[in-house]
Structure 1
């Protein structure tokens, strides 16, 4: 399912984020959902020592604890109680995020909070609430999309648990997401999603490479990553064409027709890629065949935009994690325009190593 690859957005932090920009009922809902999650937690060490616990559950949690230890001892990530607890929330997703855009725009409706900064969604612990919120926004003429989230980080404000929703993943993905979410605890910059997610994605990818090497495992299968890159490239190209359309002076009716034509083109190009290069493997069929709109395209590119820059910086500091985190923290203090310029220069150097 495509959502599982991309909807790892940091959620709103319950009552810690109270401000006048949303209803009290919404915050009560967030506080109740977060409290229920916290109350469901139990130490993994106790579960592993419980002779009555499910052996399959104990096996997955043992792997999670090995990855958790590796994250702190080898990758220099925070050493705390996050992901040393387990919570069975008895549902497939922990939250559902609602994304919205104007009919002829690829800019998200932002929601701003004191700690998390401005984010491109509103999160709900109830699927029915999320769908209701999306329906209200649709009545206002907005494009909306509801995405289920299997895991999230509270940036260290709470001890985040391993959730039952995470255990549906493969071993590799479970390990990778632990690294990714702990990277958000290591460093998070308000109002710069591309920076935050690219940083966490690099830590996840490099961390996973080091984890596999330490376990005596071969490098990850490159084919899946290539498929993902090709698919993301298709969507980003579609987004670029849509942006050009929305920047034009066409009448709304004509723009509306062209918008739907672009979504049809995206589906056609995907099916050609699926049949001719992927030999019929339909990794993203569910996503591509579901209703399409602007809101559904929002996350693309954010998780990967600056990964080459962070990879170049990691090499530049001798692949030393503490030095790498120090340099990234210094970059985080820059104004956003300066920070992005520094990342762009690192990306250019990564493409042309002889210029370093």
Structure 2
């Protein structure tokens, strides 16, 4: 009976995401026509025109896939396209994973309907997991469909929009089954470095250094918090003692953020809501996945003197290795910044 129920729930989930994907694809409009249409709002026309240029840059300069993805547009009536449910045990920062035929095992379940995401989170909490729901402005079908530009991708900061475009195309270029940290960290690096080069080719100043410094500092501190909690959970102490030490560590993190906002970044409230709302193991999962290996990829890129073709060849070779070997190389290159990866394996 348990197996049967699990199967029914899985089939229901597949039906949900299939319906959401098909509904999304049915609403696509060619970006070229929207730019030429006088009815299109001027602000949207300008944003789409810039994205069209960035799409070409992504293929010609960064070597990302040249296909029909991000040549069409979908207007959504929600702030996110999907809502991702993350879960972790109360005394572990390791995520509960979910396995799928194409994507392999990943650390979350995505829903097109926020209410369904909430019900899944409630179900997992009833099983003793800590949960967190994160909204996503975009997602990749890994080249199986021609992914569109979504209205949720377009914000007031064009850097974020262009970076998100590069991030999603990076997934289409390279995706390793069952290694979310590798995939997301690589895409994050490609987005950041690609954005810097995009601005340079347009004779624009580099991305806001203070804004970038704030993001990096926040991420580093949050990852430190994650490691602190992991060390607490490894200690031979009672669960009650673990809870007490966990709350103390979270309070220390919040105090750092408050001081940093007051003294260094008084005009950048991007992370205020994240910090003010409850922090648990599940909420820290995406940080470890999306940023954990970014320094390693930065080091590897420097080692090939910023040559995108050599970088792609090296990373593709690394992706063909077993996960344990990949992790070892990434750990060593992060710590020593002296290893190089071969162009073939």
Q: TM-score normalized by structure 1? A: 0.88
Q: Alpha carbon RMSD of aligned pairs, Å?
A: 2.1
> Of 11, 14, 20, which aligns to 1:33?
20
Change (3 A) 1:25 1:278: same
| Relative contact order, higher structure (CA 8 A, sep 6+) | 1
Corresponding residue of 2:290:
303
For 1:175 and 1:318, the matched residues in 2 are separated by: 24
Corresponding residue of 1:106:
93
Please state if 1:342 is matched with 2:329: yes
> Of 44, 47, 50, which aligns to 2:37?
50
Structure 1 unaligned regions, length at least 5: 1-18
Number of equivalenced pairs: 335
Corresponding residue of 2:58:
71
| Superposition map of 1:1-356 within 5 A | 22-279=9-266, 281-350=268-337
Change (3 A) 1:169 1:27: farther
In the TM superposition, residue 274 of structure 1 has moved relative to its aligned partner by: 1.9
For 1:348 and 1:285, the matched residues in 2 are separated by: 31
Deviations 1:89-140 (A, max 9, x none): 2211100001111111111110011211111111110011111111121122
In the TM superposition, residue 82 of structure 1 has moved relative to its aligned partner by: 0.5
Structure 1 segments of 4+ aligned residues over 6 angstroms from their partners: none
For 2:189 and 2:152, the matched residues in 1 are separated by: 23
In the TM superposition, residue 280 of structure 1 has moved relative to its aligned partner by: 6.5
In the TM superposition, residue 260 of structure 1 has moved relative to its aligned partner by: 2.4
In the TM superposition, residue 318 of structure 1 has moved relative to its aligned partner by: 4.2
Q: TM-score normalized by structure 2? A: 0.91
Change (3 A) 1:65 1:341: same
Change (3 A) 1:194 1:71: same
SS where residue 105 of structure 2 aligns? Answer: strand
